[in-house]
Amino acid sequence: MAQTVTQNQGGKAAFESLDIELHNVFKFFNQEPAVHGVDLEVRQGEFFSILGPSGCGKTTTLRLIAGFERADAGKVLIRGQSVVNVPPYRRPVNTVFQSYALFNHLNVWDNVAFGLRLKKLRKAEIQSRVKEALELVKMEGLRSRFPSQLSGGQQQRIALARALVNRPAVLLLDEPLGALDLKLRKEMQVELSNLHKELGLTFILVTHDQEEALSLSDRIAVMNQGKIEQIGIPNEIYEQPQTLFVADFIGDTNLFEGEIAGVDAFNVRILTKTGISIVVTRQQNTPTEISQAVVVSVRPEKIQLSLYKPSLQTNCFEGRLVNIMYLGTHINYIVQLINGLRITVLQPNTFGNLPGRETPIYAWWAENDCLALVKS
């Protein structure tokens, strides 16, 4: 089994087993790269998500792991072994598709047992493993029903059971909750998370839903145009995006285009195209070249509002409220600054009286609550 060396908190080298490795992988369709030099390592037992917009290459990457597509260049390894010539049915992975791909002419029990019967396992073992898989997804009471008699959530559970019954080393999930309504989707997210913890298997989820990836994953790879833009834990991806694409794609953000006007040991000052000055705390990847074109990202929830001018020297701007949207737990404010730029502010609903539109207001944020990113 493949192993990688990492540094633990005590500074000592620790070995982690890798279930999946992709090294400089390319896949072309009609001479266009769908996957462009992807490097990826997924640890044993990890819940790993590949996140990105439609057409970014995330499903193709999953299909390369599953064996439904063959890499045109690079290496794909499962548990340290190259699988370049290994067909899908001989790889220690199983895939759950968005469409579920259940057999409509078979009942629940036979759908789950189908793969085991193809392997010609003993009847007693098939009975035991199907029963165990149905119990895992809480569907043992519906064993005689057909797919047409099941709800979307129940069909999803059967698709999971059919994948799990083969006891794969890695479970591949291709937008498995995409066809569900919002409430059921949230419920199934919780069930997926619980199932992952209970089984200890490696899960690889492909999704375009940022909230889903952030809430479920141990780590996330963000893809764009066939390339991986960033890999990290959810908190890193959201709070410390390394590229403008990641900042803009993950959640909501306010973006200010400008150029670097000043640098010191602690901060970088950006003069925006609309004429305001924003100060950003220097971090490891903060650009620092004078006159360099950058974009400042400020999350809506990081911005504070005040009816009176705060005693702040930086990142405090006068404006007026132009729209207020009541969201229940939060209030979404649209503020137009005096330079004409509109920003979005998200604040918790504290059940106070909401200010009216056209109210003069001040918007401000801390230097370490914004990021300067290289304009791509």
Indicate which CATH number applies to the domain containing 313: 2.40.50.140
Q: Which of 374, 371, 376 is nearest to 297 (CA)?
A: 371
Residues 170 and 23 in one domain: yes
Report d(CA 1, CA 16) in Å as an integer.
10
Instruction: Kindly report the three-state secondary structure assignment for every residue of 23-90.
Output: EEEEEEECCEEEEEEEEEEEECCCEEEEECCCCCCHHHHHHHHHCCCCCCEEEEEECCEECCCCCHHH
Alpha-carbon distance values, 194 to 190, 199, 201 (Å): 6, 9, 12
Residue 272 near residue 265, CB atoms below 8 Å: no
| Two tokens, residue 92 | 């220690």
* Final residue before a domain boundary, out of 202, 220, 247: 247
Assigned domain for 234 exists: yes
How many residues can be counted in the chain?
Answer: 376
Residues 193 and 206 in one domain: yes
What pLDDT score does 16 carry?
67
Report d(CA 287, CA 282) in Å as an integer.
8
Residues 321 and 211 in one domain: no
Residue 65 belongs to a domain with what CATH number? 3.40.50.300
Give me the half-sphere count of Cα atoms (radius 13 Å) on the Cβ side of residue 246: 27
What pLDDT score does 1 carry?
53
3-state helix, strand, coil in the chain (%, to 5): 25, 40, 35
Q: Which of 36, 25, 70, 65 is nearest to 48 (CA)?
A: 65
What pLDDT score does 5 carry?
46
What pLDDT score does 3 carry?
57
Q: Which of 149, 197, 153 is nearest to 178 (CA)?
A: 153
* Final residue before a domain boundary, out of 225, 247, 269: 247
Cβ count near 84 (within 10 Å):
11
Residues 69 and 168 in one domain: yes
Q: Which of 170, 112, 114, 174 is nearest to 142 (CA)?
A: 112
Exposed, middle or buried: residue 267 (CB in 10 Å: 0-12, 13-18, 19+)? middle
Cβ count near 123 (within 10 Å):
10
Residues 224 and 326 in one domain: no
Report d(CA 36, CA 227) in Å as an integer.
5
Report d(CA 152, CA 156) in Å as an integer.
6
What pLDDT score does 267 carry?
95
Alpha-carbon distance values, 3 to 16, 49, 66, 71, 202 (Å): 5, 20, 21, 23, 15
Residues 305 and 286 in one domain: yes
Assigned domain for 74 exists: yes
Provide the number of structural domains found in the chain. 2
Residues 83 and 161 in one domain: yes
* Final residue before a domain boundary, out of 218, 247, 276: 247
Report d(CA 136, CA 167) in Å as an integer.
12
Alpha-carbon distance values, 63 to 8, 9, 34 (Å): 33, 35, 12
Q: Which residue has the tokens 């909401």?
A: 354
pLDDT digits (tens, 9 = 90+) for 156-192: 888 888 888 888 899 999 988 876 778 878 888 888 8
Residue 213 near residue 234, CB atoms below 8 Å: yes
| Two tokens, residue 224 | 């764009």
**Which residues form the domain of 358?**
252-374
Cβ count near 272 (within 10 Å):
19
pLDDT tens, the chain, 376 aa long: 555 544 443 433 334 699 999 999 999 999 899 999 999 999 999 999 999 999 999 999 999 999 999 999 999 999 999 998 899 989 999 888 877 788 899 999 999 998 888 888 899 999 999 998 888 888 888 888 998 898 888 888 888 888 888 888 999 999 888 767 788 788 888 888 988 988 889 999 999 999 999 999 999 999 999 999 999 999 999 999 999 999 999 989 999 999 999 999 999 999 999 999 999 999 988 999 999 999 999 999 999 999 999 988 899 999 999 999 988 889 999 999 998 899 999 999 886 777 888 899 999 999 999 999 998 7
